[in-house]
Each structure stands twice: as C-alpha cells, then as structure tokens.
Amino acid sequence: MVQIKLLSQIFIAFFIYFIVVHFYLGIITLPTEGDSLAYHIPIANAFVAGGIFAPELIPGNPFLRYSPASSEFLLSFLILFGIPLNIYNVFAVICLYFVAKFAGRRVGLSWAFSIIFAVTICSLNGIARWLNTQIIDIWLLVFFLLSLGLLEKPQKSIRYFLVLGLSIGMLCGTKFTGPVFAGVLFVTYIKELVPIINIKRIFAFLIPFAIFGLTWYVRNYLLMGNPIYPQPLLSLPGGGSGEFTILNTQVWKILTTYPVGFVYTLNAYIAEYGIWTLALFVCFLYMLYSGYKRKMPDPTVVRISIIGFLIFIVYLFLPSSMEEHIAVSVFRYSYSAFVLFILCVFLIAQKYKKVVLLSLIALSNIFIIGFPLFYYPKLVFIYIPLTLGLIYFRKIKEYIFSAIKIKE
C-alpha cells in the first residue's frame, strides 16, 4: 500500500508538470491545426455570432458545417472571453483526469490505482499531441468515460438522471459517432436501468439530452431533411463521400487491402499508444486463459472488454485515407476503445496483485512522452523491459539461481 501510494503521488506530480507545460505552450501559441482552423473554430465563432442554426453561413465544406457542435459550444466561451484557444484541450485533459479517475473507481480500481490509470490515459501520446489544438475527440472521450462511470452504478435520484442526460447528450452532440457509442453503452447497461426508470426520471434524462444531443440532428433534419446530413441515410438527402473526398476509404480497408497501409498503421499504433498497444491482446488472452483454466473471468473485465471491442469494430468502419498523415490522424477516433482496453489491463493487474508492476510499466511509458529527449516511441519496447529488469534484478537473480539448484 505504501508503494502504490508513493507511485500515485509521483504520477500526480508528473500530471501537474504535464499540464503546466501545455498550458504555457497554449498561451504563447496560436491555432495552426488543420481541422481546428477549417471548422472547429468557425463553428465556435458562429455560436458567438448567434448563427449556429444557419450553418450555411459557416465557411467551409458542408460535411463540416452540419456536424454536431456541442463541444464547439465549449470552445465558444474561450472566444467570447478572449482566452487563448490553444488551452481548450488543456481543459479537456484536466476534465479527462477526473473523469477517468471516476470511471476507474466505479469499476473497482483502488483510489491510488485509479489515479495512476487516469494519468496514464491523459499522457498517452495519441492524446498529448493534440493538447494545443481545438479538435474535439478528447472531449468525446471525456463524455464517453463519464457516461460509462455513471452507468456502472445507476442511482434512483433525479440528479443522477439529469447528469446522465447531460453526459449522454454531450456525447451524442460532440460527433456523429457519439450516438453509436451511446447505443453500445445503453445496450450493455439496459438491464440495470430498466428497474429504476419512471416518468420523472425519464424526463430528467430527456431534457438535457435533447438540448445538448438531439438539437443538432433535429436542426439537420429540419434544414436538410436528413438528421445526419451530409452523411447518406437510407433514401434521405445526403452528399456522402462526394462532398468530402479527403476521407475516401475505411480503416479496415487500409489494414486488409494495402500492405503498405498495414505497415504504417501498425507503426502509427505503437507511436500513438506505446506499450499500451498490447492492451487489446492482453484482454483477449485473459479471456482465453480463463477459458483454458475453466475459471469464470472477472465480469467487470468481460463487460468493459466487450464494450471496447464493439467500439473498436465501429472504429474500423470509420472513414480514413491512404494519405499517411490522415490515416495516422484518425487514430484519435479509437480513443474510447483503447482506453477501455487499458482499463481492463488495470483491473486484471489489480485482480492478480500486480499493481506495482503495472504502475512501473505505466511510469516508464510516460517518460517517453513527458521527457522527449528524442522521438523514438517504439524504443519503449526495449526501454521498459530493461527498466523492469534493473528494478527486479535481485528477484530475477534469485529465481535463476534457485532454478539451477532445483535442476541439479
């Protein structure tokens, strides 16, 4: 307990350093990221000007103008009060820390281990490199994890359903993928919700959900006859890929059709998630191992893993491009899946009393991001084993000598 508490304090110290550095960078720099300039900032400006319900006045591509915009609503406050826009996602990561800690506690992580999990998530390279931009995928992850944490332990209070409605509403209102993610969550937790639902609680949920979530889809339907315009939906009007030809293929096609695409995708995965690239396989192997031992796997791990796999399947069908920089950029669409895989690894480590070991692995991984003397993230697969080897050198030596004596 003393070790894990000390490690959690080290993680908190790193997180404070991490936030201070990016907050300072956000103050002294101006927005430069492509999507931010193309539509996130123009949409937020439209909020300030009062023209959000006239998206045809927003410059740029129709695909961008008609996107859900709840998270750009948050960005508009920075514009309104003259706050540097490059700290927008610094606020998002601060929220992500508290929400990830909340979700970790809800699924059963200890207080100290949930802190380590939260800092681990916030310092992923795939998240850290977007901190001084205005992309909204970090906010999507915030509302996804908040919704997950709330659904893990449903309550009967009106306040609970108001907060759940706000969270699910912001999830759906941040991006077109939000309703799909919300649907996966509701299908998973519907059995826990049904027994506590009544008219008052339904209305408490629907009011914030309608304001922050449904608004955009109703707007699109009233203006264009299609709630997800310009995405095609059945026979409803929609521009489809012809209106936005940059994203001209799907993630799974890049992985299966183009050998070069598979190589740079794998290379980018490791760069984005570091050692946590293996989290997906750890979850899968845990299920296989439990079956082999004829033991019931942890139900929470099973539930979270299934949600993660479903979200990952959704990610595979999202639009991407054979242009390498775009294919790498869309990895941010996989946040929700990989964060759940990482959460499962933390739950498995706690179950088997390997919290210190996993904390050391997590700490070693974030040094690559927090102190980038050079950018070779794949060296983490050499660096971490060497680090653990030095830390556990005495135990390894004792194990080897004992094995030799047994053999003799």
The helix/strand count (H/E) of the chain reads as 22, 2
Per-residue confidence (pLDDT) for residue 242, from 0 to 100: 45
Residue 308's nearest CA partner among 271, 275, 346, 274 is 346
Per-residue pLDDT of the chain (408 residues; tens, 9 = 90+): 668 889 998 999 888 888 988 999 999 999 999 888 888 898 888 888 876 666 665 666 666 677 888 999 999 999 999 999 999 999 999 999 999 999 999 999 999 999 999 999 999 988 998 999 999 999 999 999 999 999 999 999 999 999 999 999 999 999 989 999 999 999 999 999 999 999 999 999 999 999 999 999 998 888 888 888 777 776 776 655 444 445 567 787 777 776 666 777 777 788 888 889 999 899 988 888 777 777 778 899 999 999 999 999 999 888 776 666 677 778 889 999 999 999 999 999 999 999 999 999 999 888 776 665 555 666 667 767 777 777 677 777 776 767 665 554
Residue 321's nearest CA partner among 233, 231, 261 is 261
Contacts 24+ apart (CB under 8 A), 258-267: 258/322, 261/322, 261/327, 264/324, 264/327, 264/328, 265/327, 267/378
Angle between helix 2-28 and helix 355-370 axes, rounded to 10 deg = 20
Residue 263 structural domain = 2-407
The residue with tokens 């110290």 is 13
Name, in order, each residue with C-beta under 8 angstroms of 172's C-beta and a sequence gap of 6 or more.
68, 178, 179, 182, 209, 212, 213, 214, 217
The residue with tokens 């998240």 is 127
Tell me the three state secondary structure of residue 319.
strand
Q: How far apart are CA 4 and CA 11, in angstroms?
A: 10
pTM over 0.85: yes
Tell me the three state secondary structure of residue 249.
strand
* Contact predicate 140/186, CB 8 Å: no
Kindly calculate the radius of gyration of the chain based on its CA atoms and give it in whole angstroms: 22
Domain count for the chain: 1
Name, in order, each residue with C-beta under 8 angstroms of 331's C-beta and a sequence gap of 6 or more.
126, 268, 269, 272
Per-residue confidence (pLDDT) for residue 132, from 0 to 100: 94
Name, in order, each residue with C-beta under 8 angstroms of 286's C-beta and a sequence gap of 6 or more.
297, 301, 305, 344, 348
In this structure, are strands 249-250 and 319-320 parallel, antiparallel, or unpaired? antiparallel
What does each C-alpha distance from 287 to 36, 106, 152, 293, 373 come to in angstroms?
40, 22, 21, 10, 38
